[in-house]
Chains A and B, each alone.
Chain A
């Protein structure tokens, strides 16, 4: 297996030419998904994602939901959670957790002449997991 080249360790070593390599990002690792997990992305409309969360809390009968956001979507996840809280007139509470997610990119050499080993690049990205819940009555 190719020794993965770490960005942090040797920035000069992977000074790569975009012409010679094709960068393919692998999908981030997903966590198991329950019904009340919402993964926020930047492609879907914001209002649609907010409505989905509201539906889960009100119509879906869930006491708590988890809103996950990765990278660029962290902002949006926070935004959704705060909007939910504001629209519930203080009935909902938030508990935020952050984490770091390891992402893998594959670098495929375009020049097939060199039978060199393929490179993978590991980088880290931040993620946020916000629990939105109705507090217990007591």
Chain B
């Protein structure tokens, strides 16, 4: 008998009276072979010791009474005591428990208790870090888990047009705290010489640009691998130098990067600065993620505490031991908890600090964002003399005692007041940095949500250039321990004499150093300049919610990741990581996107799918940039052979370069000078292509001018904006094609003319897909048979790829991407939509530089820059005007 059966038997026998015995042997009583209970009852007569014929009533009844009570006991008690689940009343049973009994839920009351709630929150953000505004967002947004964070994607309410309206006329707010900040400290020359390896002057201002080096402006650039410009880019960063301190050569630099890029950037920075010695923390925290240790001493560098999210779960002030355990989250989305965050170099003296999740960053977009800021933030009020004399552990009273710091504060406050008089954010010089110390904005929160409007004084001139050194945001200091609790403020508010008036006196811990960084709006192109300009608000961590809610109460719209994509689309700038196909993060993103789109496609029933093969769309879910650039280089090379000498020289050049780097990777053209040249050749026009724009002197486009350009940038892609001339809405991965001469005649016939049509293609794979399906259902046969039965075609796919045929999508070795359709393909669209600002369909994408030059050279002057655009799901080409904006 197995052990389980023994156990079962024991359990059954537990409540049996000793007089009743089941025979052992693995058989249950009553299966026919063993005497059942009633047999015992009557058969027992024979077994009884009483003489035959005499029925002893009393002992008989006694024995039966014992049996009856045993039966009753067995009936009333639930037999399967191994299931806690079944012991519960029905209304408390949960389906999850039937799978795993240990998931017995506590009561809601217990779950919602503060301490338990915190534990639950800690558990849930162990894998994907929450921002400080997470709970606020989770109530209102569709959340996505991306890049190790939980981020709001889009609001649950309708928001597309309201958000655009907010961006163009009022203010849109966004939480960008997931951006990673890396701090570099060291001698200025050392830093600049190390960092110069990562950038190139050709691609615009570098780290050494005068304006940003002085600390007055924020700079932005694209970082490359050390010394590998222009082949290996990493991605875009923004940076901020701290102004020079008096009599010290030490400088401090903050570099802000996207989390997907940080894992590439940080090792690169370490290698150029020769910073490889990890500085071990003074107290190495040995903690597993499971244990929650309330640590009171501030050591945020080592174990960055994820800061509290709402007012109710705000961090406990120091010394408050009675409260629930302080939240302790180890690590963040981009690193494991045990890795060091500080590195020092012995040779160069540079220190690298990873400040991820140490600084809260909010972005306000729109012309009224400074009005919102001006209403929300008030320059910090001074301490009165009484408190100043007393020694204090808080930072503000100490700060007040320092004369020089106070004069700086007064200067900053004055400048801030001037800013209040500005009508639109776009009037300010782009990238201005302004440091300020402000009062806790919760003190002045209005009782009702209202819309912040500008108050303009007529008499003011332009704000020329803000020259205020920024006050430091307390990083790795204990200042954030002093965040006043919401509860405390609510109590104070309830005691105010006039409801809704400002709380006074200001609590001592209610001063926050903040940093305001102006974000330039649309800088490229000729139209809508400064559209989408705004401010970034940088705060010390822990203050997130204290600033978020007051900002929301000023009538701003809140947006998620989706709207930031639309923002950069309207600005005409590439968005990271979507539009950086040559960066590792961008390539990763494209793969991920392809998988997602393909999965979505496969979920449709085959009969309802778009057959992309029939539409002549080779790669509906990705863009094979490398193949495109290689093919175009070949085509343009063939075109060059017709010329004498010139073409041969170019050929030679190409081969010589080919020897140096046999596998050339496609890159995006970022050299400002070349882009400007290319832009001029495209005959820039206004968005719908009606009026030409004035441009500076551009050498005329001919073969002699194009040849050196091609030789230098043959394998590159150019970021371009395409506006449709008539109706139509471009979609993701729409094809950019070259119009033929007949197409251009069609265009000159009239403005309302529609574009040409692509003849439908034949799907040679359909029969194979069906056959394969049939085969898998019936029996497996050799794949050679499949091959033989196929109609002979130029694109004979090998047997390995026919394994993963998807109906409607080309299998992997793609044929020539350029010449697959009736019109040559130049590139693909990465962002396309109806543009609310231009009033026509607009697309942003990349085109091959070689292909574009080839096209422009062959086009007549009046039609230069007119291309065709075709959606993957359509056969209809639409005319579009290309603009390369620098």
Contacts and interface: CB of A to CB of B under 8 A. Distances in A.
Interface of A: 1-2, 4, 18-19, 24-32, 43, 102, 104, 106, 108-118, 120
Tell me whether chain B's interface is mostly helix, strand or loop, or mixed.
Answer: loop
Contacts of A25: 529
Given A27-B424, A115-B208, A104 B456 contact: no
Given A26-B530, A32-B456, 16 more contacts: A4-B464, A19-B673, A24-B529, A26-B426, A27-B426, A27-B427, A27-B529, A27-B530, A29-B462, A30-B423, A30-B427, A31-B423, A104-B462, A106-B430, A112-B205, A113-B201
Q: Looking at chain B, what size class is its interface with the partner chain? A: 20 to 34
B467 A112 contact: no
A32 B454 contact: yes
A26 B201 CA distance: 25
Contacts of B206: 112
B424 A26 contact: no
Contact of B210 (A28, A29, A104, A117): A117
Contacts of B210: 109, 112, 114-118
A115 B213 contact: yes
Contact of A102 (B205, B458, B462): B462
B201 A104 contact: no
Contact of B429 (A30, A106, A112, A116): A106
A28 B201 CA distance: 31
A104 B422 CA distance: 14
A112 B208 CA distance: 7
Top-8 shortest CB links A-B: A115-B210, A30-B423, A112-B205, A27-B426, A112-B209, A32-B456, A18-B696, A1-B465
A26 B423 CA distance: 13
Interface of B: 201, 204-206, 208-211, 213, 423-424, 426-430, 454, 456, 458, 461-462, 464-465, 467, 523, 527, 529-530, 672-673, 696-697
A111 B462 contact: no
Contacts of B697: 18
A120 B464 CA distance: 8
A82 to B, nearest CB: 25
B427 A120 contact: no
Given A27-B529, A117-B210, A112 B696 contact: no
A73 B699 CA distance: 32
Contacts of B464: 1, 4, 104, 120
A106 B211 CA distance: 12
A111 B209 CA distance: 9
Given A26-B429, A31-B456, A2 B209 contact: no
A118 B211 contact: yes
Contacts of B430: 24, 106
A87 to B, nearest CB: 27
B465 A2 contact: yes
Contacts of A19: 673
Residue of A26, A112, A115, A120 with highest tally of chain B CB at under 10 A: A112
Contact of B209 (A4, A32, A104, A115): A115
Contacts of A104: 462, 464
A30 B458 contact: no
Nearest to B697: A18
Given A18-B697, A102-B461, A120-B465, A111 B201 contact: yes
7 contacts: A1-B467, A4-B464, A28-B427, A30-B456, A108-B205, A112-B209, A118-B465
Contacts of B672: 110
A24 B213 contact: no
Contact of B423 (A29, A110, A111): A29
Contacts of B529: 24-25, 27
Contacts of A120: 429, 464-465
A112 B204 contact: yes
Nearest to A29: B427
A70 to B, nearest CB: 14
A111 B210 CA distance: 10
Contacts of A115: 208-210, 213
Contacts of B426: 26-27
Contacts of B465: 1-2, 118, 120
A31 B457 CA distance: 9
Nearest to B209: A112
Residue of A27, A31, A106 with highest tally of chain B CB at under 10 A: A27
A18 B676 CA distance: 11
Given A1-B464, A1-B465, A110-B672, A26 B427 contact: yes
Nearest to B530: A27
A1 B432 CA distance: 12
Nearest to B465: A1
A2 B466 CA distance: 11
A104 to B, nearest CB: 5
Residue of A25, A30, A102, A117 with highest tally of chain B CB at under 10 A: A30
